[in-house]
Amino acid sequence: MTQVVIADIAPQSERDVSVERSILGPAVDVVHCRGAADVDALVTACRDADVVLTDLAPMNREVIGSLNRCRLISVAGTGYSSIDIAAARDADISICAIAEYCTAEVADHAMLLILALSRKLLAWHNQVQHDRSWHFETHGGVARLAELRLGIVGFGRIGRALARRARGFGMTILAHDRHATDNSEADSAVRFCDLDTLFRESDVISLNCSMSADNENLIDASAFARMQRRPLFINCARGEMVDEAALVEALDSGRISGAGLDVLHGEPPELESSALSGRDNVILTPHIAFYSDMSLLESRRISAANIRHFLDGNHDMVSKYVFLSDKRGSFS
């Protein structure tokens, strides 16, 4: 019997896998592994798996090298930075992911962070709840959203969805994308520009590009130094795209006015020692921008369907292949 291991990084109790079982069928043994952020636990659970279904479990070379039978890693998300792709290639293990889901949720979350930070919601909430103080003058300097320029780094589906939301508040939109060089490729209301211009002219900067080796630490000390308007900084993409030490320095020096972060380095990050915690001008959320009941259900359905298509040899029906091995036809 083909075995599919669902590797969850959260140490929660056993989850319902009926969605996956209904799609994969009775000939597939579906096993749930919780606490898969621990490499030893991951190795033990996945050693004899034919397929590993995961999102953020650390599928590094050690883990991949321990897989005796695995032919596919199916990612229940759009990003796959937690997987050592070179190691998977070396082991002839295919990798697939989800081409699109949760676009609306991530764009909504980014807009939420922009609204909350620009209105200084957290500072006033803490003032009322903790200080029992009912005064509006204490956290001044609030700009009207329609006066602000939003710079979007990465103008794919999520970037475009965020632009639509921000324009509803009257914001001016700047965008930078390696795959779009001018307004002919997108909405004419969006001004495309290089990164230097975007950093220099934006009041809010939102990261919405995909993680790759080329943009690790894309936002570093040099990038923050080029931000001239003390912008708010939003990251609903990947934590590894930001140099966190440089981000802390930019906050401490006033180079940026605040930060809304749905992602940090590591999954999960080291919150106890994080210099980003406990600030009125920093909002941290635990990588939930993707989340709604519907988006979670969609990710489970699509990632399980990807496995079913792979097992059946219907590779053109898989949502997205990151790597397709020549050994793909070994299942019966």
Alpha-carbon dihedral sign for residues 292, 295, 298, 302: negative
CA 246 remoteness from chain centre: 20
Q: Tell me how far apart the alpha carbons of residues 54 and 303 are, in angstroms, rounded to a whole number.
A: 9
Residues identified as active-site: 238, 267, 287
- Helix then strand then coil, % of the chain, to nearest 5: 40, 20, 45
Sheet holding 2-7, edge to edge: 28-33, 2-7, 51-54, 72-75, 94-97, 320-323
Q: Under a CB-based contact definition with an 8 Å cutoff, are residues 142 and 148 in contact?
A: no
Instruction: Enumerate helices (H) and strands (E) in the chain, giving the number of each.
Output: 11, 13
CA angle in degrees (0–180, nearest 5) for 16-21-27: 145
* DSSP category for residue 230: -
Length in residues, the chain:
332
